């Protein structure tokens, strides 16, 4: 079973993502911000990381950079959750090493479809 880490400071989003992806047959862990996410990623073995951008302590872009510095996560798909349709955040994410993005608000089906794109 593929393992996913969902990082978002919003409880409701975390729960929704976790629930949705579990239904789709993935193992899902969650983290509340960048620092928590990085720790959990280091301790776990994830096939995909989904992260929000705006978070306290360490934001998504920094998290992505840090993850790319880890051997285990150099090539792991990382998806950004962003409400900002502005392209500068997307660009920043990509330069930090993000694989792709999911635009908020998203519905569960969209989430699953996007995840399936990177986790075949």
Partner 1 sequence: MEIDLKQFHQVFIEECVEGLEVMEAELLKLTPGAVDNEVINTIFRVAHSIKGGAGTFGFNQLTEFTHVAETLLDDLRAGTLVLIDKHISLFLQTVDCLREWIQLLACDSESIPDIAEDLKHQYNQLLQLDMNQPALPNDHDISVTGSTRLATNVHDDGYWLIHFIPGQDILKQGNEPRLIFAELQEMGELKVTPKIAEIPLWEVLLPEDIYVSWELELISNISESQIKEAFEWVEDDSKITIIHSNAVPNLKTEEGNTDRVLVVPEITQAVSKKITNKQSTDTNSIRVSIDKVDALINMVGELVITQAMLGELGQDFSADKLPELKKGLIQLSQHTREMQDSVMKIRMLPIQFSFNRIPRMVRDLSDKLGKNVLLRIKGEETELDKIMLEKLSDPLVHLVRNALDHGIETIEERKLAGKSDVACLDITAFHQGGEIIIEIRDDGRGLNRAKIHAKAIEKGIANQDQHYSNSQIDEFIFAPGFSTVDTISDISGRGVGMDVVKRNIESLGGDIQVESKDGEGSCFSIRLPLTLSIMDGQLIKIGNKTYILPIMSIIESLQLKDGMVTKLADQTEVFKLRDEFIPIIRLYQVLNHDTNLERITDGLLVVVESGSNKYGLLVDDLAAQQQVVIKNLEDNFMKVSCVSGATILGNGTVALILDIADIVKRITNERRQKQGLRAHVAA
Strands 48-52 and 3-7: parallel
Residue 61 CA to residue 119 CA, distance in Å, equals 21
CB 105 within 8 Å of CB 8: no
Q: Does 55 bind partner 1 (CB under 8 A)?
A: yes
Q: Does 97 bind partner 1 (CB under 8 A)?
A: yes
Nearer to partner 1, 10 or 62 (CB): 10
Q: Does 74 bind partner 1 (CB under 8 A)?
A: yes
Q: Does 42 bind partner 1 (CB under 8 A)?
A: no
Q: Does 26 bind partner 1 (CB under 8 A)?
A: no
Which of 2, 27, 36, 103: binder of partner 1 (CB under 8 A)? 103
Give CA angle at 71 (69, 73), nearest 5°. 80
């Amino acid at each position: 079973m593929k393992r996913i880490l969902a990082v978002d400071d919003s409880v409701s989003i975390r729960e929704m993502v976790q629930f949705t992806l579990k239904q789709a047959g993935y193992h899902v862990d969650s983290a509340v911000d960048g620092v928590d996410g990085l720790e959990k990623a280091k301790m776990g073995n994830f096939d995909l990381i989904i992260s929000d951008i705006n978070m306290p302590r360490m934001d998504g872009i920094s998290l992505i950079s840090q993850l790319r510095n880890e051997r285990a996560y150099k090539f792991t798909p990382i998806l950004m959750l962003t409400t900002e349709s502005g392209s500068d955040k997307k660009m920043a994410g990509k330069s930090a090493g993000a694989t792709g993005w999911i635009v908020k608000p998203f519905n569960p089906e969209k989430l699953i479809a996007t995840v399936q794109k990177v986790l075949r």
